[in-house]
Amino acid sequence: MTELGKDLHRLASFLRLQQLARTPHDLTVPGGLTPERLHRYRCDAAGISLLYATQRLDDTVLAALQDLADESGVVEQFLAMKRGAVMNRIGGYESENRQVLHTACRDLFHSPPLATEASHEATEELAKLRDFLLDLEEETLVNGRGEPFTDLVHIGIGGSDLGPRAIAMALDAYRLAERRVHFISNVDPDDAAAVLKGLDLSRTLVNVVSKSGSTLETLTNEELTRAAFARAGLDANRHFLAVTGKGSPMDNPERYLRSFYMFDYIGGRYSATSMVGAVMLGFILGYDPVIEILLGANDMDRATEKRDIRSNPALLLALLAIWNRNLLGHDTIAVLPYSQALLRFPAHLQQCEMESNGKSVTRTGEAVAYPTGPILWGEPGTNGQHAFYQLLHQGTTVVPVEFIGFRESQRQEDLLIKGTTSQDKLIANLLAQAQALAAGQESDNPNRRFAGNRPSSIILAQRLTPATMGALLALYENKIALEGFLWNINSFDQEGVQLGKTLAGRLLAHLAGRRRETGHDGAAADPLGWALLTAAGLDVRGR
């Protein structure tokens, strides 16, 4: 086991930063934002550039942030995580007590990899995936009529849906022409009904993703989908795939055409580069693009091992998050991709950040003495400019922003209109927003005054490719893990979602008991829950 970290507020470098935060860099004064600063405050790795001149810091603050990284041993903790240390734990208390090895899914290209056994297991699963995809391509795996499969329904929830869905949407431009993917996640029956309506189920595979094999929402949606296959006169067992833990109830060849494994050391929200994402992505993209995603992620993982914050984008982003959250007092962050393909990427990051770092106890079980994870949200630009940017520029709440953009369009279908392409207009808007937030504008008309000093970072890549997507995914996964190490919290469990699940289970027991008319006395067993049901008009007696 690795040693747990130190609390942030006990570090000498953090106390120094508190002093510096009293007079943060002013971006609005003459010389506050210069061409030289814009070129010098840039960090590059894995094909991604991080421009951070529009943050409220200077060289003195950067040096103090470097000291914070060194004093906290945050990179050493990241390396310990990659090597298989038990990082998912709370010292002295019952906890999951697990390794955290999502990076092993893409650490297959080192010789040897840092986590040999986990990387070997990932290699085995990739080999199974390659064989499965080859069977589809060569049409040795077909439906009952000898026809190839054209569609795949991906059933999962939380980390089994958000990351994979975001990547699938981001890389739709690379999708095989004859393949389509659909997603069912919400236990709302209308979600499943809408997805299944109009599909040719005879040519559809269903990929069910649940590590435990017992996730209620996922199993409910699986049964709804199996019922649809039965109504169509099809044997669901010849159409369903499983991504699950080895030995789980879903690890059953009698019910699933193929099974792929996910492991306890890979958390749901960090699982997109495991079989959780790879099976679906392989179906719609092919095997080689999946490998490109893993290579891009691995490149960023390796960059995250560097101790110099000016060469490590994930570490620099994490430290900027500490600067803005803990020292400048900003409670929220907006991730704004200027790419329609990244429509659902902020939703994935919302889960990854807030489920990971929405914690109020340290890794020793004590109450934290400082704010932890910020509220993360976002939508694509330029649409967002016509929605919520008014608050970003002139509202009373300062919201730090991370802009994401690409120098080239993904599909390369564009026109010159009034002297510029649509991609020119897109990237110009991104850059202009960062400049406007930072520098602001003076005006005699108070309604047209922009205060400025609203921090942002710009994340740029050449083009959104599978490799770039992998690097971008790993950039944020690593940033979030590093934040947790700095805050000395456990970023790899999610106890906060359990209480609601437990109470929902009680309410469902009440409803099931009333439907069966078993004499279930919900009012006596759980008076508050029973009162909630009846107040909501859900007395099911006689249904």
Give the β-pairing of 180-184 and 240-245: unpaired
Residue 197 is among the residues annotated as catalytic for this protein: no
At residue 275, φ and ψ (nearest 5 deg) are: -60, -20
Residue 182 is among the residues annotated as catalytic for this protein: no
Q: What Cα–Cα distance (Å) separates residue 101 from each residue in 161, 210, 345, 477?
A: 19, 18, 22, 12
Q: Which one of the listed residues 9, 39, 246, 501 is annotated catalytic?
A: 501
At residue 322, φ and ψ (nearest 5 deg) are: -65, -45
Residue 379 is among the residues annotated as catalytic for this protein: no
What is the C-alpha separation between 480 and 484, in angstroms, rounded? 6
Alpha helices in 1-154 (DSSP H): 12-20, 35-40, 59-72, 74-83, 116-137
Alpha helices in 232-363 (DSSP H): 275-285, 287-303, 313-322, 345-357
Global pTM? 0.95
Q: What Cα–Cα distance (Å) separates residue 290 from each residue in 71, 303, 465?
A: 37, 20, 11
Q: Which one of the listed residues 254, 386, 413, 418 is annotated catalytic?
A: 386
Other CB atoms within 10 Å distance of the CB of residue 85: 18
User: Quick one: which of 94, 115, 95, 97 has its CA closest to 106?
Assistant: 115
Per the DSSP assignment, residues forming a β-bridge with 208 are 155, 242
What is the C-alpha separation between 440 and 54, in angstroms, rounded? 11
What is the C-alpha separation between 300 and 476, in angstroms, rounded? 10
Burial class, 420, CB count within 10 angstroms (exposed 0-12 / middle 13-18 / buried 19+): middle
Kindly report, residue by residue over 188-247, the tens digit of the pLDDT.
999 999 999 989 999 999 999 999 998 899 999 999 999 999 999 999 999 999 999 999
User: Which residues of the chain carry a pLDDT beneath 70?
Assistant: 1-4, 514-524, 539-543
Query: How much is the pLDDT for 336?
Result: 98
Residue 382 preceded by cis peptide, ω within 30:
yes
Q: In what order do the strands lie in the sheet with 375-377?
A: 42-45, 48-51, 456-461, 401-406, 332-337, 375-377
Q: Which one of the listed residues 121, 125, 355, 402 is annotated catalytic?
A: 355
Helix (H, G, I), strand (E, B) or coil at 151: strand
Query: How much is the pLDDT for 110?
Result: 74
What is the C-alpha separation between 488 and 71, in angstroms, rounded? 13
Q: What domains sit in the chain, N to C, each tagged with a CATH number?
A: 8-100+299-494 (3.40.50.10490), 102-294 (3.40.50.10490), 496-535 (no CATH)
